[in-house]
Structure 1
Amino acid sequence: MTVVADDRIQIGHVDFKYQWDLMIKNVQPEDEGMYECQVASTNKNMRIMFSLTVIGWFLF
């Protein structure tokens, strides 16, 4: 579940792995910054922060 009001942002999951991916369509320079991923379950909560840097962005 994403908690953001931007349809460009989605979460992807790889079946049979503990892998989740943040996907941003049509990434823009203003998308740079800190993002947080949280996972909550009945016996454990996890949280990770990461930084996104947009490189080589071109306006077509």
Structure 2
Amino acid sequence: MHTNKNRVLAGAVIDHHTPYWEQPFSQPYFDNSTRREMTTTVGQSAYLHCRVRNLGDRAVSWIRKRDLHILTVGILTYTNDQRYQSLHSDGSDEWTLKVSSPQTRDSGVYECQVSTEPKISQAFRLNVVGE
């Protein structure tokens, strides 16, 4: 009896010799190896590192949770506050939110969000302490 090693799922061919994360239908997911809480002092730049595997053509955004303000989408900044910047190198899985000259009021939760349907997100806590 002949068995087919490739099955069809929702129009995509599953090749059982290719790792699942390289399959065309697999979804983006977070690499949980990065620190989810960061403490810095006032004025000392802070970096929140979000790693997204298998991003494909999706976009990564950084959102400030306290007011749900979209800070960045991709590498573009969507706030007038130029202290916020998204850092990303081509081919990298890492999307870093840089907060320059942070103040204590910048403490709180920031969300790394991926434009899947439904959206997926990962929360990061930034603590800015006085000197």
| TM-score (structure 1 length as normaliser) | 0.70
- CA distance in 2 between counterparts of 1:14 and 1:23 reads 14
Tell me what 1:16 maps to: 91
Tell me what 2:124 maps to: 50
- 1:47 maps to amino acid: S
Quote how far apart the aligned CAs of 1:22 are.
0.3
Residues 23-34 of structure 1: pairs in structure 2 closer than 5 A: 23-34=98-109
Unaligned runs of 5+ in 2: 1-72
Quote how far apart the aligned CAs of 1:46 are.
2.4
- CA distance in 2 between counterparts of 1:5 and 1:51 reads 22
- 1:50 maps to amino acid: F
- CA distance in 2 between counterparts of 1:3 and 1:46 reads 20
What is the number of equivalent residue pairs in this alignment? 56
Unaligned runs of 5+ in 1: none
Quote how far apart the aligned CAs of 1:3 are.
4.6
Greater radius of gyration (CA): 2
| Secondary structure in structure 2 of the residue aligned to 1:15 | coil
- CA distance in 2 between counterparts of 1:12 and 1:24 reads 11
Change (3 A) 1:44 1:14: farther
Percent identical: 34
